[in-house]
Amino acid sequence: MSMANRYQISNGFNVEDIALIAQNDPFFSIESTTNMFGKDKEIVRLRTEKYIPSLTDDEQRILDHIIKVTHTRYWNDFMELVYSTYPILKSERYTDLDLIALAKEYKNSG
């Protein structure tokens, strides 16, 4: 999104942020369950089909692509993918990502 349209959808969230948002949003619930190894895990679920996100066609296309690429990955594989991306490799941990600046930097590096 940042490379093509020069804006980013969000500033990003960490796992704790997502859980907190889901706990306080009437559209979402958190389900406690176990993974295939018997370890505890939580799943964020949509409470109602009536929720319609306000996304542009480009945003929807990008998010659909991200889901397609990542939905079959286990946590470690997913995190390996995330940490192999240019913005993460080039940024200090726990800092906000300026994806627009990083996209320009990436384009110029190459």
What Å distances lie between residue 7 and 39, 41, 59, 77, CA to CA? 38, 33, 11, 27
| Residue 32 pLDDT | 94
Which structural domain, as residue segments, surrounds residue 50?
2-109
pLDDT single digits (tens) 47-88: 988 888 889 998 999 899 999 999 999 889 999 999 999 999
Domain count, the chain: 1
pTM of the model: 0.65
